Every structure is written in C-alpha cells, then in structure tokens.
Amino acid sequence: MAGLLDLLNSDLGKQLISGASAQTGASESKTAEVLSMALPVLLGAMKKNAQTQEGASGLLGALSNKHDGSILDNLGSLLGGGNVDQSVMNDGAGILGHVLGGKQPVVENTLSQKTGLDAGTIGQILKIAAPILLGVIGKQTKQNDVNDSSALSSILGSMLGGQPKGNQSLIESLIDADGDGSVLDDVAGMVLGSNKNKGGLGGMLGGLFGK
C-alpha cells in the first residue's frame, strides 16, 4: 500500500506539484512544502469522518462513483500548462468543504503562516490536490474491493502509516488532539505551528524535497 511519502515522491506526486505550481505561480518547492503538510491533514480528517457510519457511507459512495481513481488516467491534460481544468477546482472546493468544514480557513491560514504563501494560493493548491488524493484512495478501495467502513479505515490508516514512530503518534494526536471529535482543532499547534517543530510532518516530508 503506497503511503503519502511514496505518493508525493512518485511521478503522480511530481505531476501534482508541477501542475499546482504552474496554476498558482508558487514555486515547486513551496508547493511541495504545502502539500507535504496538507495531505496528511486531509487524509487524517477523512479517516476521522469515516469512523461514523454516515461519514463512511458518504465517502464510500463518492469513491465508488465519481472518485474511483479514473482522474489519475488523465492527469496530464487536467493539470497541464498552468491551466487546471475548472471541474477539478470545483470538485476540490466541494471536497474541502465536506472534509474540513468550518476549519478550512484555519488550515489555509496556518499553512500560509508556515510557508509564506498567501491563504488564497494555499486554497488553490488544496482544491487541486483534494480530488487527486480522493482518486488515489478510490483506486486503492477498488483494487482491494473495499465496501465497508472498517476496510475503508484500514486503507486510510495504511496510507497514513509507514511513518517513523514519533511522527505516527503526532498524526494520531493531530486527528483529534483534545478528544472532542473535532478533527482539526489542533492543526495549528500540532503540525504547522511552531518553527521549532521540525520533527513534525512538515519536517519529515520536507526532507523529500531537499529542505
């Protein structure tokens, strides 16, 4: 099972970084930095949502229909030339609204503080990344014939897995650090907040891009 580290370092990840960079005008290294912090947050939020019957069934429905992985077959034309297909952007906006809810501005602003890119640019990068991340998950669920919430959680968990132990516990605590069921309350402090937090997800994934 490919994890997020493998995903960002793969040809698909490089296509995503290059397409989002061309669309927004942000450098590829900054775009990679944003994605390295944002993808675990999105995946963690999806995993948390999938722990409820309603959340799991909504996600499974999306993965078996629109987000079955077929987007990955046509990435070159969808992301090409700094002109990302509008349907991808609209789809991404819907996914972010569903997965992050009212926490979306918190995530965008915190990523903005961390990377120096403005929140609007961060929002654009997230809109491009969300449908592709869902496509990757959809492809995995199809290949593994996943049709219930526990199997879905297992797929999401294995994509988040494979991290060094300290980072793994950081991801787990990020997902619901204060135990109130709100996935992203502690995003700012846990993963993206302090510059000294080099052992966090940003530091771990940043190493892939020569940071």
Which amino acid would we find at residue 139?
Answer: K
153 pLDDT more than 60 = yes
How does the average pLDDT of the chain come out, rounded? 78
Nearest Cα to Cα of residue 132 among 89, 103, 171, 86:
89
Give the tens place of pLDDT for each residue, 83-113. Answer: 888 999 999 999 999 888 888 888 888 888 8
Q: What is the pLDDT of residue 114?
A: 82
Q: How would residue 162 be classed by pLDDT, with cut points 50, 70 and 90?
A: low
10 pLDDT more than 80 = yes
Structure token pair of residue 4: 């997020």
Nearest Cα to Cα of residue 150 among 68, 52, 43, 3:
52
Structure token pair of residue 3: 């994890």
d(CA 70, CA 199): 35
Handedness of CA 183, 184, 186, 190 (dihedral sign): positive
